[in-house]
Structure 1
């Protein structure tokens, strides 16, 4: 632990020697300035925890030096002990009026000096803790204000459009039923009810995403060393589950390296599910779906593209060059709720999230996520260790 810094300001070097002798039993760093001007200019260099200031000095007296230091915001919290031969009440009142925190009379008593210095150092430590806490609170308030502004902007610009679509369908269906209930056939009525049911389901999904997004903004999770996920395994599971939704086998590929990400598995699943959802919702029969993930420069790079093909037998090299040509270079400021969640999760892990949209429903997502450091075990290694321990 570093020792406390004491700055002694006195025009008489002998007085400094005397104070140095009185404080020799303490492990303080003692600094000396022979005048107020030198002391003020050297505050940054000495960074004092306590200042011992002589009152009677030429040029700037101790009262003026004290006032000037206390006017400097960076040094207001540093206690100043006035060292003075003056003992009248008016003189002591002047010390306090100048901003002094304490004073000792000359000739200085060693026991009294050490006690007052120790007392001021305790006050300084308490002041530092308060300042640190205050700074932390200001940062938290600033962060919360930014989060609230982000939520307010989303509520004002993006989210209403997403909620309005299923609400409009529900409203139109209900209005149509009320006006034509007596003339509608059973199949037409069932069709309207099925359409309304889908809108209710969409609203339920949007609401869930909305609350999850708010949670990410207000209570952002912190990455930790236990975060693990395998993108290849997650994509294979998703594609198997959604095989009925996928395009023909020769119209999609999934090439993802077998690596372990330093990303919470639930959040990783959310990212990949949401990106695939967004693409499949807009998928057309003449599009080619390509999922490609690989390690570049110690990070996992994923591209998920829905590409327009002039013919169904385009070569792999043609597809690769098309993806490179369409690599996203800018972020879309009006992302849907689900994509805002993806963007937020990627930001939590200090990754990059980009999106580009071309003509005819062509979409490309590009993102990066961190890998598990080499010094930490992967999921496979952890499972192997657990298996051996269990068998033992």
Structure 2
């Protein structure tokens, strides 16, 4: 449930607050009152209003000085201030705006005008809050990307330093070279996912559709992951539709969807378990690709958000979890007109299902 917008009314006359409360009664706002400028400053240390209705003519600390103090504080300067004033001279209104006020309304206050101006300021505040959330998300994303890139870069650096040792055995060099190649491929995959997601979000990604045998595409991905699965003693099993399964899609882009889903399934499955890749033909409706693992599964509350960017499921130690893989899968699948979802596997694990329509 959305939080009620909070309005702080600052006026030395309680009757004026009663008027504003009456005019805004049906709007569902959380109204707070401060009887003078100093009290308003103190209230701001306790509450974070979305809009301030500030009377100009107050004793001791007038509204213009209060406005200046609020706007000079980095914690409060984003809060829209509507000056409530009986002054009508242009010079007085200019003083209000110069102090940092975002809007003003004249006394006696008209209910229709008051509601319109408050709603206008609330829209501005909401836009500010959304922007701050986006900036915070971007900052978190940069930190996560750097964290995920640090591991392969460290692996490359260490392997390179070891190869430079004069007494390092020749018969072990290939192993270090393979380690470097795998780390570079990991970095390339991270970068490619970020770039492709940016293009898909901007609408600049042009998919290269073609008739593709989905079974052959899945088998190719399974073969690429065979060695990785073997290292974890995980058995890769395919249950593919017995006939050719041709469908119109961008093979290179959609292959990355299967790559990501299969990689996650192997990553989160315990040793000596199974990962199953299945395809099926739904006739005129379309086809499905389904990957089943034996991992920790996905909780009910995460099923709704796990396909969003930077959301991760169960946190696992020493496991790269940037939270882009499933978001990327969702964007690609939807760009193909399809859907992706996750359900629980019984007795343990998760089942990711991709549905693609026949077009």
Question: Which category of TM-score, normalised to the shorter sequence, fits these structures?
Answer: 0.5 to 0.7
Q: Offset of 1:233 from its aligned partner?
A: 12
Counterpart secondary structure, 2:58: coil
In 1, the alpha carbon distance for the partners of 2:166 and 2:14 equals 84
In 2, the alpha carbon distance for the partners of 1:62 and 1:168 equals 76
Partner residue, 1:344: 318
Q: Does 1:41 align with 2:10?
A: no
Structure 2, unpaired ranges of 5+ = 195-228, 237-262, 273-295, 297-315, 323-343, 352-359
More helix by share: 1
In 2, the alpha carbon distance for the partners of 1:381 and 1:87 equals 67
Work out whether residues 79 and 100 of structure 1, in 8 Å CA contact, stay in contact via their aligned partners in 2: yes
In 2, the alpha carbon distance for the partners of 1:131 and 1:236 equals 44
In 1, the alpha carbon distance for the partners of 2:350 and 2:96 equals 69
Work out whether residues 77 and 124 of structure 1, in 8 Å CA contact, stay in contact via their aligned partners in 2: yes
Counterpart secondary structure, 1:45: coil
Partner residue, 2:63: 62
CA displacement 1:321-353 (0-9 Å, x = unmatched):
xxxxxxxxxxxxxxxxxxxxx9732x659xxxx
Counterpart secondary structure, 1:378: coil
Partner residue, 1:25: 26
Partner residue, 1:205: 178
Q: Offset of 1:214 from its aligned partner?
A: 3.0
In 2, the alpha carbon distance for the partners of 1:232 and 1:151 equals 21
Work out the number of aligned pairs and report it. 229
Counterpart secondary structure, 2:57: coil
Q: Does 1:9 align with 2:13?
A: no
Work out whether residues 152 and 183 of structure 2, in 8 Å CA contact, stay in contact via their aligned partners in 1: no
RMSD: 4.3
In 2, the alpha carbon distance for the partners of 1:31 and 1:205 equals 65
Work out whether residues 216 and 344 of structure 1, in 8 Å CA contact, stay in contact via their aligned partners in 2: no
Partner residue, 1:161: 161
TM-score, reference length from structure 1: 0.49
CA displacement 1:294-334 (0-9 Å, x = unmatched):
xxxxx9xxxxxxxxxxxxxxxxxxxxxxxxxxxxxxxxxxx
TM-score, reference length from structure 2: 0.53
In 2, the alpha carbon distance for the partners of 1:128 and 1:381 equals 36
Q: Offset of 1:267 from its aligned partner?
A: 2.6
In 1, the alpha carbon distance for the partners of 2:16 and 2:350 equals 69
In 1, the alpha carbon distance for the partners of 2:98 and 2:108 equals 23
What aligned pairs does 1:171-320 form with structure 2 within 5 A after superposition? 199=173, 201-202=174-175, 204-214=177-187, 235=233, 264-267=264-267
Q: Offset of 1:22 from its aligned partner?
A: 1.6
Please identify the structure whose Cα radius of gyration is greater.
1
Work out whether residues 166 and 202 of structure 1, in 8 Å CA contact, stay in contact via their aligned partners in 2: no
